[in-house]
Chain A
Amino acid sequence: MFIDVGCYQLKKYNQNAFGDDFVSKREKSGKILAVLSDGLGSGIKANILSTMTSTMLLKFMQRDVPIREAAEIMMNSLPICQVRKISYATFSGVDVDAEGQVRVVEEGNPSFVWIKDNQLQEPEFSQISSPSFPDRHLNIYEFKALLGDRLIFCSDGVTQAGMGEKDYPLGWTRENMIEFVLKTVQNEPSIASADLAKKIVERALKCEKNEQAQDDISCAVMFFRQPRKALVFTGPPYEKQKDAEYSRQLAMFNGKKAICGGTTANLVSRELKKTVITEANANMGTLPPVSYMEGIDLVTEGILTLTRALEYLEQGRLKVSDAAGVLVDFLLSSDQIEFMVGAMLNQAHYDPALPIEIEIRRNIIKKMQKVLENKYYKSVTIHYV
């Protein structure tokens, strides 16, 4: 079972910083931790409050600090607003282990939504109060999620969207959001978490006057599903006599397959006796175009394409149509990504006479692992061959 985590956020209209913050961490044990926090007010001030809260709670959860103690420390640490004389950031923290055992702690955010078999679930919870802030209560849920379940977390920017408008005197409301989610999931049963989160946020925005967000709007989704696996083979293996072995591994892989590298494509082509085809009039852009090989989903050039794809991932540019954009699409439509990185260096790439500096493949892949894990919540493994 794989937990697909996705988030989508909008800033309050005319603000230059997000007042909500979402963080998620996939531990080596397979455990997933995530926190959505909504800071008091909007803009930079809210951003500081929410970021401090989410970062602290994530760290506390990583270290198994009791939640009451963690909440006290967080509430006491936040800077106090000069206007309101209080410090405040609501939060929802979730901790899921590899078996699907879920623990949620909520303070102030709209209650999360648990969908199973396209039905809303109503899990029991216990409540604890803060000794130093008696009006602040923590709701704690513990339950087991199974394959196909979804958890949806949102800030009040979603449920209160459009509040005061003629059609939405009470805002969009949690009930309407649930109805929208059930309908969306029914139409698209395998919709990815990032896509569902985006749909929810965009629907909430439609409730706002002139579609201008009157608050920060954030939504995070967790989807328990069978992992979509992908293997990326890049760079020729260090020992040439193992070309055949690794090519076979690629061919036998149970999932989507990509080759990034001309020499790598050639060796796989030779070993598997499959032709690599690049269309003569393929659109190049500023990168070599993609190629095709029977049984392989994507073939691209290596270093330049990987470097550009890394840039797109870091900058969140996800809809570019060049070869790097296609690679980004390939990666983001997978959950568990394995990089098989050949350790052989092409000396020509490191000739000082080259007009651009080319980074070493393993460094690019390491950076790519980091961004895929931290920003896109993917599970990434690298092995060098």
Chain B
Amino acid sequence: MKKVKLQVCNGTTCFVMGGADMQNMVDQLMVKFKDCLEIERVRCLNACSLSDNFAKAPYANIDGQLVGNANFQTITKIIEEKLSND
């Protein structure tokens, strides 16, 4: 069974730009993808410190792919694509 690894940023910028709702999102993703998804909360992905990128916070990393404006919809779409490419 293919498994996707999701890292959710808990850094300051991501948190104030919407990451505060992450708990809810993490719970929903766990229910939706069950064993196909491994979720890791990380202290900071350092993505916002790359120039001009901070406008896209909150960030997530899905199997090495940096995702800006992370929310339930954008993350679900990418995970589904990755799982269907299997």
Docked Cα-Cα span, A348 to B14, in Å, equals 10
Whether A346 pairs with B43 at a CB distance below 8 angstroms is no
Q: What bracket does the count of chain B residues touching chain A fall in?
A: 20 to 34
Q: What bracket does the count of chain A residues touching chain B fall in?
A: 20 to 34
Chain A proximity of B19: nearest CB distance (Å): 7
Whether A263 pairs with B49 at a CB distance below 8 angstroms is yes
Q: What are the residues of chain B within 8 A of A281 when measuring CB–CB? A: 26-27, 30
Whether B43 pairs with A280 at a CB distance below 8 angstroms is no
Query: For chain A residues 336-385, which have a beta carbon within 8 Å of chain B?
Result: 346-349, 351, 353-356, 358
Interface of A is mostly: loop
User: In chain B, what residue has the closest Cβ to A286?
Assistant: B20
Query: For chain B residues 9-39, which have a beta carbon within 8 Å of chain A?
Result: 9-13, 15-17, 19-20, 22-23, 26-27, 30, 39
Query: For chain A residues 283-298, which have a beta carbon within 8 Å of chain B?
Result: 283-284, 286-289, 291
Q: What are the residues of chain B within 8 A of A355 when measuring CB–CB? A: 16-17
Docked Cα-Cα span, A284 to B23, in Å, equals 7
Q: Say yes or no for A83: interface residue by CB 8 A criterion.
A: no
User: In chain B, what residue has the closest Cβ to A283?
Assistant: B23
Chain B proximity of A103: nearest CB distance (Å): 48
Q: What are the residues of chain A within 8 A of B11 when measuring CB–CB? A: 262-263, 288, 301
User: In chain B, what residue has the closest Cβ to A346?
Assistant: B49
Whether A262 pairs with B12 at a CB distance below 8 angstroms is yes
Chain A proximity of B86: nearest CB distance (Å): 23
Chain B proximity of A192: nearest CB distance (Å): 31
Q: Say yes or no for B41: interface residue by CB 8 A criterion.
A: yes
Q: What are the residues of chain A within 8 A of B20 when measuring CB–CB? A: 284, 286
Chain A proximity of B32: nearest CB distance (Å): 14
19 contacts between A and B (CB under 8 A): A262-B9, A262-B44, A263-B43, A263-B44, A265-B44, A276-B42, A280-B39, A288-B11, A288-B19, A291-B10, A291-B41, A301-B11, A301-B15, A346-B12, A347-B51, A347-B54, A349-B13, A351-B55, A358-B12
Lowest 10 A-B CB distances belong to which pairs? A262-B44, A348-B54, A348-B48, A262-B43, A278-B41, A262-B11, A288-B10, A265-B43, A284-B23, A348-B13
